[in-house]
Amino acid sequence: MTALVPVILCGGTGTRLWPLSRATYPKQYWALAGDGQDTLLQQTHQRLEGIAGLQPPLLICNEDHRFIVAEQMRQIGVEPAAILLEPMGRNTAPAVAVAALQATAHGDDPLLLVLAADHVIQNAARFRAAVKAGMAAAEAGQLVTFGIVPTAPETGYGYIEAAEALQSSGTADESDRAPQQPVRIARFVEKPDRATAEQFLASGRFTWNSGMFLFKASAILAELERLAPEVVSACSAALEHDSEDLDFLRLEREAFAACPNVAIDVAVMERTDRGAVLPLNAGWSDVGSWSALWETAEQDNDGNVLRGRVISEASSNCYLRSEHRLVVGLGVDNLVVVETDDVVLVAHRDRAQDVKTIVGLLEREGASESKAHRRIYRPWGSYDGITEGERWQVKKIVVNPGASLSLQMHHHRAEHWIVVKGTALVEKDGVEELVGENQSTYIPLGAKHLLTNPGKIPVELIEVQSGPYLGEDDIVRFEDRYGRSDATTRPIAPTATA
């Protein structure tokens, strides 16, 4: 039985789904599709269940997202073969090269199924059938890409022309029709104008470029070595000098930085003579905007998509989403309304793509809302800034079961902790105490302190800070189980995305 290794690319920041998707917590880690609680990343792996020969996945992500990825895989009971950490973004060709080198490191040569973590596929059965249909061609050395059967003359997607006319694949909800076999690729075409896109659809030879691939590890490595040898050499060096960090493999920064920033489509697929396209009609979307999310979601009788604590009255064709506060849509039409802990977006659905312009404006102003939510995730849990004033601020801190903050001290602030849920084990200058619900403890300025959750439920506490400087960089770490130094947190940079 042929081994099939999913390679899930978890990079990208998804700014067109701002204010929900931000650099510190992008769209692939949110539950955006369907009515369940599973995130796009979790759904990406779950839709593969039932494919013969399926192996544990390789995940490639930004090193600052590593604990989010690991936790979301743990939640669905998946133990990855490896989580590879990119020190900076270098697009998809290096990500694929690293995955292929890692998959063949011990003499194996599996099929690699390269997927983006942020796609929606409504009909998982049709997708699995397409994967199975492409395996024989991939096993024979072809580089298979999945071309999405177009539903409209879209100008925002790249197109793939097949060397012959493609068979109709039926509608996305038909799971019993056998997929077409892969067809040789004639050419790739970048985003066309509308008239050209209409001609493409009429020809019956074109599909949208999905950025999903299926090939043998040795086959893609051979073509990378032939067509982009500098990618392979840089990635080989980055892997050769990698370092293990808990359950992660951290690629060596200097070697990886030398790798060209190039997509696998440009580096290989547009130039190889081994490319083949397999048409896929399974309700695919790259969730590139709030309007696209509205289109792919199940709508009520008024054409609305409602998520969270929302009331809609006499409204139609809206996407209304609440993460915290009550959102009411009254007599409105064709709106996108998204409420988060610190931002409310109100936009006409036709202007949803322009959200990235607002993000750019906020970045130029240095506004924190461009990159981070009020709730900040850490390896041990999260903290949420509630309110602040001159020389003081209040946070809510959540520490996961068995997790621990670093042993640390502050030069400029003192802290008062009030536990409101669970039991915390607190160490101050070498002295330990248990602090239960409705109990508190005081951390003087300069005291070495450590907080651990020894229980089986999350510890929730309110932290009151006071002092002349309250920045997050006023932390000196002495010990940390997550391998963090006393340096300040690095800014998030996008990594490989399809």
What is the CATH number for 419? 2.60.120.10
Q: What is the pLDDT of residue 67?
A: 87
Tell me, yes or no, whether 293 lies in a domain: no
Is the distance from CB of 404 to CB of 380 less than 8 angstroms? yes
pLDDT grade, residue 155 (50/70/90)? confident
Please say if the pLDDT value at position 488 is more than 50: no
Give the distance from CA 83 to its chain's centroid.
13
Please say if the pLDDT value at position 153 is more than 70: yes
Q: What is the pLDDT of residue 1?
A: 72
Which structural domain, as residue segments, surrounds residue 80? 4-285
Least confident among 10-14, 52-56, 122-126, 182-186: 10-14
Q: Are residues 304 and 415 in the same domain?
A: no
Q: Are residues 235 and 329 in the same domain?
A: no
| Boundary residue ending a domain (230, 256, 285) | 285
Q: Are residues 53 and 85 in the same domain?
A: yes
Q: How many CB atoms lie within 10 A of CB 391?
A: 12
Please say if the pLDDT value at position 358 is more than 70: yes
State residue 105 phi and psi, 5-degree precision: -60, -30
CA proximity to 406, closest of 349, 480, 470: 480
Tell me, yes or no, whether 486 lies in a domain: no
Q: Across residues 378-398, what is the average pLDDT? A: 93
**Alpha-carbon span 312 to 316, nearest angstrom:** 8
Q: Across residues 463-478, what is the average pLDDT? A: 93
**Alpha-carbon span 397 to 144, nearest angstrom:** 47
Please say if the pLDDT value at position 428 is more than 80: yes
Q: What is the pLDDT of residue 50?
A: 92
Tell me, yes or no, whether 489 lies in a domain: no
The rounded percent of the chain whose pLDDT value lies above 90 is 78
Q: Are residues 447 and 409 in the same domain?
A: yes
Report cis status (omega within 30 of 0) of the bond before 57.
no
Please say if the pLDDT value at position 189 is more than 60: yes
Secondary element (H or E) of residue 148: strand 143-148
State residue 155 phi and psi, 5-degree precision: -105, 0
Q: Across residues 13-20, what is the average pLDDT? A: 89
Please say if the pLDDT value at position 496 is more than 80: no
pLDDT grade, residue 178 (50/70/90)? low
Tell me, yes or no, whether 487 lies in a domain: no
Q: Are residues 354 and 279 in the same domain?
A: no
pLDDT grade, residue 165 (50/70/90)? confident
Please give the tally of structural domains in the chain.
3
Q: Across residues 397-416, what is the average pLDDT? A: 95
Q: Across residues 264-285, what is the average pLDDT? A: 94
pLDDT grade, residue 11 (50/70/90)? confident
Q: Rounded mean pLDDT of the chain?
A: 91
The two tokens of residue 285 are 């979307």
Please say if the pLDDT value at position 349 is more than 90: yes
Strand arrangement of the beta sheet that strand 449-452 belongs to: 431-435, 424-428, 449-452, 407-409, 476-479
Q: Are residues 162 and 226 in the same domain?
A: yes
Please say if the pLDDT value at position 176 is more than 80: no
Tell me, yes or no, whether 494 lies in a domain: no
Q: Are residues 230 and 305 in the same domain?
A: no
Residues with Cβ within 8 Å of 138's Cβ and at least 6 positions away in sequence, in order, are 111, 144, 214, 215, 216, 219
Q: Are residues 302 and 280 in the same domain?
A: no
Least confident among 62-66, 107-111, 205-209, 301-305: 62-66
Tell me, yes or no, whether 269 lies in a domain: yes
If DSSP codes are grouped into helix, strand and coil, which group holds residue 151?
coil
CA proximity to 188, closest of 126, 143, 121: 143
